[in-house]
Amino acid sequence: MRTIFSGEAIDFSYNKKEPVLDGLSISITDKQIYGLLGPNGAGKSTLTKVMLGLENPQKGKLQWFNEYPNQSTKSRVGYVPQDLALIYDLSAYENVEFFGKLYNLKGEKLKKQVRYALEFVGLWEERKQKPKKFSGGMKRRLNIACGIVHNPDVIILDEPTVGVDPQSRNRILDAILELNQLGTTIVYISHYMEEVEKICSHVGIIDNGTLLCEGRLSDILEAYTDQAILKLELQQKSSAYTARLADYTVVAIEDNKIELAVPKNNVGVISEIKDRLGDELKSFQYISPNLEQVFFKLTKKNLRD
């Protein structure tokens, strides 16, 4: 496995007083879809800027492809920023072409790459249109085309699905999976836990400028959770059953619905609860441990707070 990016003990502050990145270390290897997950203001975009050399850390060591950042390593990295970086007076084609030229693509190679990038995001037919006429999802897709036109080995996508409709969102997620299957390493920055769980092979959780954990998604879920959620729908108001369910932690209760925290992967517990409730139980749903629980365990906060 080749290391794509490593950052060790990075300190960064905008005003030299309050740290935004606080001794943060991170390691991304070849072919991963690395989900960088954290709440608003955790430091995700700042870390991206530091990784791209747009901001200089006060302390720490950064390497791309086992080298200190240089022109050659920079040309192997693609970036799709959170704020759309489009030129609205140019056509979709000209936008992608502009970014291709920034990466020194020329002539036939440039034409080929522009076509590849626009086809990849499904905008080749719309290439002559100006992006001001595009929907939010189409603008996001054009933004991605601009980030991949130079065929980078790794692409950093900062919240690429914010403000898009569900159809465009799925299209973007599928495109990311396809890019990864073609061999591109992906760094996927998001505060949407469900998206990270859906597409990422690896995850790093960031809060207050520190990486709280990183690793294979399945390993993180295994290591940092011990409970699952059991959602029960009952015949009567849930409060009528609290004595029978006193052995379990009630996570939420409303009308005839109740959510219990139960030990994960324990079929015996589910059978026991079903036995205790008998015909009073209308339905139940087992929710496997998720990243929200990992985050709560590490910070005692909810990701959405």
We find the least distance from the C-beta atom of residue 17 to ligand ATP, in angstroms, to be 11
Q: Considering the complex, what minimum distance in angstroms separates the CB of residue 136 from ligand ATP?
A: 17
d(CA 262, CA 228) in angstroms, rounded, equals 5
Query: Nearest approach, Cβ of 278 to ligand ATP (angstroms)?
Result: 47
Rank residues 41 and 263 by Cβ distance to ligand ATP and give the closer one.
Answer: 41
- CB neighbours of 118 closer than 8 A, spacing ≥ 6? 92, 93, 96, 124, 127, 145
DSSP state of 90: S
What dihedral angle (degrees, nearest 10) is formed by the CA atoms of 113, 153, 212, 195?
40
Q: How far is the CB of 230 from ligand ATP (least distance, A)?
A: 31
The token pair at 132 is 């001001």
Q: Report the alpha-carbon distance of residue 75 to residue 77 in Å, rounded.
A: 6
Shortest CB 20 distance to ligand ATP, Å: 4
Which residue in the block uniquely carries the two structure tokens 């403000």? 163
Pick 20 or 77: Cβ nearer ligand ATP: 20
| Shortest Å distance, C-beta 41 to ligand ATP | 4
Nearer to ligand ATP, 57 or 289 (CB): 57
Could you tell me where the beta strands, DSSP code E, fall in 132-201? 154-158, 185-190
d(CA 160, CA 243): 47
Q: Which is nearer to ligand ATP, 14 or 286 (CB)?
A: 14
Residue 118 tokens, joined: 């626009």
Pick the closer one to ligand ATP by CB: 44 or 169.
44
**160/36 Cα distance (integer angstroms):** 13
Q: Measured from the CB of residue 189, what is the shortest distance to ligand ATP in angstroms?
A: 7
Fill in the amino acid letter for 43.
G
Residue 159 has a CB neighbour count (10 Å cut-off) of 19
Contact residues toward ligand ATP (CB under 6 A) are: 14, 20, 38, 40-46, 191
CB of 105 to ligand ATP, least distance (A): 30
3-state secondary structure (DSSP) of residue 159 = coil
Which of residues 162 and 261 has its CB atom nearest to ligand ATP in the complex?
Answer: 162
Report yes or no: 38 and 205 within 8 Å, Cβ to Cβ.
Answer: yes
Which residue's CB is nearer to ligand ATP, number 97 or number 207? 207
| Closest to 199 in 3D by CA, of 217, 183, 211, 214 | 217
Q: How many angstroms separate the CA atoms of 228 and 210, rounded?
A: 26
Nearer to ligand ATP, 38 or 100 (CB): 38
Are 125 and 11 a contacting pair, CB within 8 Å? Answer: no
